[in-house]
Each structure stands twice: as structure tokens, then as C-alpha cells.
Amino acid sequence: MLLSTRGLSKHFDGLQAVTDVDFDLPEGEVRALIGPNGAGKTTLVSMICGRLAPSSGSVHFEGQDITRLPAHKRVCLGIAYTFQITSVFPRLTARENVALAARRHLPKAEVTDAVENALDRVGLQDRIDEDAGNLSYGHQRLLETAMGFVQKPRLLILDEPTQGLADSEIERFKSLINELRQTTTILLIEHNMSVVMELADRVTVLNFGECLAEGTPQEIHENPKVQAAYLGTG
């Protein structure tokens, strides 16, 4: 198992954000994590990537207990995380942003080609020398996705990657995920259910910080508890 959590919980000043989550993600899978706003999705992945320390429970990556490992060391192990709110460097160009991410993990001789390839794959090749702060919100999301996968991670966590994208850009994003899934395990937090249904091998549903259901996209779509809590039917 590439990633596992056991009893993972987080509370903030008495508010229980995540409660006793057991989560297993095998290598090579595209897993969608869905749930209503405030369900605990970002809190959960923040504990997985090391941005938040859990109140209790454990996180294992490739069999290694990484619960107390700082975020930068988890990056070195092969975990890349793109934020729900963009975290690009606005005064650097798109090229420079991706190059910063690439230099941490690639030999110097490979960086230039890797950066240009990454920006081409997300559709930003014509904005390669534009300051990131001048890009639209959707294009900043795409830039951050490029910054994630250029690191060649073992696990790529994408938090709301299609938010702010036009329909044509969403189609390009789906094609990109289908390319990346050949070499990268992907955990996708996503509200766009058509994206989830098309891309995910399996779906995990959080509700009030707890795991409500898990299964194939079709199983989740037909689950009465999920319909009542999230999909708006039932």
C-alpha cells in the first residue's frame, strides 16, 4: 500500500474537523476525495502531506511511519501537494515557478526541457514568460498543477484543480490526468462530479470529518447515504 492512515483525527479548539479516518491508497490508483464544504477534505490531506500535525492517529507512506515527518521531508519522499488556494510566486514568471519546483528533484541538465514540457501539457506554453500574478485564477491552478507533476512525485495530491477552469481547459486537464496515471498515484479533491466520475478508479466520501462511504464512482453515485449527504437527492 502506497499510503495508509489509521485513526487519523484533527481538532481545532474543540471543533472536531476529522475523526478516526482509516484510508488506504494503493500505488497506481486515481482516488477522488469528495464531500460537502466543511467535510474535512483539506484538513485530511494537509495531515497527509505534513502541513498539519494530527491530534491523533498515524500516516504511513510506503510502509514508513511519516506521522511526525515535516512537510519538506515528505516532499523528498515523493509526495507533492497543490493547494486549494493557489500558492504560486506572483512576481516570478510561469517558467520560473515551475523551474523552482523542478530543481528540487531533477538534475540541472533536465530542468529546462522538463519545465517547457510541463507548461505545454497544461496549456500554458504561450504564457511561459508571463508573471504568474498576471495569470487568471484558472491558469494559476494549471500552473500549480505543472509545479506538482514536474517533480515526478510518487503521490500527487490535487486540491480543487479544476476550480476556475473553462470547459476546454477541464478537458485538457482530464487528458493530463489520464497521462499522469501511467506513472503517478493521484489523490484528487474535486467538486466537479463529471470529472470525478470520469477519472477516478475509486471514490472516498467524507462527511462531518468521517468516512461516509468508499467505492467505485458508480457505487458512490448509487449510494443512498451519499445521495442524501452530498449529491442532493434521496
Residue 212 and residue 16: Cα distance in Å, rounded? 16
Share of the chain above pLDDT 90, in %: 79
**Mean of pLDDT values over 148-173:** 91
Tens digit of each residue's pLDDT (9 = 90 or more) over 13-25: 888 999 999 999 9
pLDDT at 85 over 60: no
Of 66-70, 128-132, 225-229, which range is least confident? 225-229
**Is a pLDDT exceeding 90 seen at residue 155?**
yes
Can you tell me the distance from the alpha carbon of 229 to that of 212, in angstroms, rounded to the nearest whole number? 9
**Residue ranges of domains in the chain:** 1-78+155-234, 80-152
Cα 174 from chain centroid (whole Å): 14
pLDDT tens figures, 10-68: 999 888 999 999 999 999 999 999 998 888 999 999 999 999 999 999 999 999 999 99
Q: Number of C-alpha atoms within 13 angstroms, CB side, residue 216?
A: 2
What are the pLDDT digits (tens) for 166-221? 998 999 899 999 999 999 999 999 989 999 999 999 999 999 999 999 999 999 99
Check pLDDT > 90 for residue 84: no
pLDDT band per the 50, 70, 90 thresholds, residue 234:
very low
CATH T-level fold of 1-78+155-234: Rossmann fold (3.40.50)
